[in-house]
Structure 1
Amino acid sequence: MSIPTDHVDAPRTVRRLARGAAVTPVWRNAIGGVTFRTDDGRYIKHGPRNAETSLRAEAGRLSWARRYVEVPSVIETGAGPTNEWLVTRAIEASSAVEPRWIERPATAVGAVGEALRALHDALPVADCPFEWTVPVRIANARRRGIRVPIDLRTPPPVDRFVVCHGDACCPNTLLDDDGHGVAHVDLGALGIADRWADIAVAAISTEWNYGPGWQDALIEAYGVKPDDERLAYYRALWNAT
């Protein structure tokens, strides 16, 4: 996953959805999908159909979460035989991995940790219709032909159930100009799970985005002490599924 640095042609569907607005590619994901920003304040996410989740599923989660936290508002979503798309209203904030934040890792990492805790505290478990527990994730992997190792099929005891982001990597937190986390994006897997399922991924993603040495800072900003057992388990599950 990265910010595109090469030329990216906007697919015909993206040009149609842009309705004459200029489009700029701003993000490429691991399965070949690209997100474009229009010059009239929208984002168009377009990519191949994905067996793990879908943009239609993300649209439903965004609409639910928006009642409680700052996430993009959905304009429209759709799909064709091989591709799907999601159009949202832009939020005036920047990804925690944009160049100016890469140059200020302490600010960015602290903001991501604090914003993740705020997300977990704000989203009501009792009202959430979505699930991201270990059995659900293992079943999803099985449907995609992935055999999860036996030692990952029994998780550690739950510390605290929250509504997890589902992809809490640092790029998916948006920061304001002062370096405070103000919004979240890419919520296609949002659902109830142990909070360490998110914390583990957010912490390890600091290494991918800012280099080694920032994991403990993120966990401290979240407001807990490192839990080595749960961190190791949920990182392994992330990699396995």
Structure 2
Amino acid sequence: MIASRPDPGSFAVPEVVRALAAGRSCEAVWRNELGGLTFRIDGGREYLKWDPAGLADERSRLEWAVEFTSVPRVLDSGDGWLRTAGMPGRSAVDERWLADPATAVAAVGEGLRELHEALPVARCPFDWTTRARVEVAHERARRGLLDPARLQPEHRSLDIDAVLRALDDAPEPETVVCHGDACAPNTLVTDGGRVAGHVDLGSLGVGDRWADLAVATWSTAWNYGPGWERRLLDAYGISADAERIAYHRLLWDVAS
């Protein structure tokens, strides 16, 4: 499954979502790769995430990050759900921005730079370091959970031993507080084409800026087509580093 706007007929609205909407309008706007759903409540006054895997990690990260940058304000949460206040702007993959990728991609790059500069590494209690994530990859391999056939096409020719050897040779990190899922849909963009904020911060933590940049640039091809990576890096204000990008895309593929 690929994260996307869900077909209304492809799922049943969970009972807890109906109860929390309390008769207000309730529209499913996103489904993640594991089947979790996000609903727009009352025309965008609130958003409700439902994920049976749990959302406690995201709540704690949002409550920390909101002090420093523009992220959703937590209203309440419970077993498998998280309710947040609405924010201005719309996703960078809204139809408005799919029709104007040059503006959307620049906003994603500028927004990622702003996020990295705003969040204080020394005060961040969350870990998304390369070392910790490589350990996750090794643990998945030990448990037989890494299947090359399920990786992105550019990685499917690698065997698991080759993947792990490559990951053990990590580049020196450029440390920031990372978003952790810096794909284009998770940047909100104002109607004027500027970054409004970020959503889906369940993996936020101290890590390598290139871990975010590798995924953000990768997602431009998934969402807008080829040819937009350079624009995102220019908007961020950094030169391309093919080696770091390749490394962190492989790590993302096996440890996210």
* Secondary structure in 1 matching 2:76: strand
Where does residue 56 of structure 1 map in the other structure? 56
Residue 57 of structure 2 is aligned to residue 42 of structure 1: no
Where does residue 149 of structure 1 map in the other structure? 164
Where does residue 114 of structure 2 map in the other structure? 118
- Report the CA distance between 1:143 and its aligned residue: 5.1
Where does residue 135 of structure 1 map in the other structure? 131
Where does residue 207 of structure 2 map in the other structure? 193
In the alignment, structure 2 segments of 5+ residues that lack a partner are 147-162
Query: 1:157-172 to 2 correspondence within 5 Å?
Result: 157-158=172-173, 160-172=174-186
Where does residue 250 of structure 2 map in the other structure? 236
Q: CA separation in 1, counterparts of 2:206 and 2:96?
A: 33
Q: Given the superposition, is the C-alpha separation of residues 58 and 142 from structure 1 closer, same or farther in structure 2, using an over 3 Å criterion?
A: farther
Q: Given the superposition, is the C-alpha separation of residues 142 and 201 from structure 1 closer, same or farther in structure 2, using an over 3 Å criterion?
A: same
| CA contact 1:31–1:48 (8 Å) conserved in 2 | no
- Report the CA distance between 1:9 and its aligned residue: 2.7
Q: CA separation in 2, counterparts of 1:143 and 1:35?
A: 30
Q: CA separation in 1, counterparts of 2:196 and 2:239?
A: 24
Residue 30 of structure 2 is aligned to residue 27 of structure 1: yes
1:202 to 216, 220, 237: 216
| CA contact 2:171–2:244 (8 Å) conserved in 1 | yes
Where does residue 90 of structure 1 map in the other structure? 86
**Between structures 1 and 2, the one with greater helix share:** 2
Where does residue 17 of structure 1 map in the other structure? 20
* Secondary structure in 1 matching 2:71: coil
| Runs of 4+, deviation exceeding 2 Å | 5-9, 138-148
Counterpart of 1:74, as a letter, is: V
Q: Deviations over 1:193-233 (max 9, x none)?
A: 11000000000000000000001111111000000110000
Instruction: Compute the TM-score of the two structures, normalised by the length of structure 2.
Output: 0.87
* Secondary structure in 2 matching 1:162: strand
State the number of aligned residues. Answer: 232
Counterpart of 1:171, as a letter, is: P
| CA contact 2:134–2:167 (8 Å) conserved in 1 | no
Counterpart of 2:23, as a letter, is: G
Counterpart of 2:108, as a letter, is: V
Q: CA separation in 2, counterparts of 1:149 and 1:91?
A: 40
Q: Deviations over 1:2-27 (max 9, x none)?
A: 01233243110111111221200000
Q: CA separation in 2, counterparts of 1:45 and 1:16?
A: 13
Percent identical residues: 51
In the alignment, structure 1 segments of 5+ residues that lack a partner are none
Instruction: Compute the TM-score of the two structures, normalised by the length of structure 1.
Output: 0.92
CA RMSD of aligned residues (A): 1.4
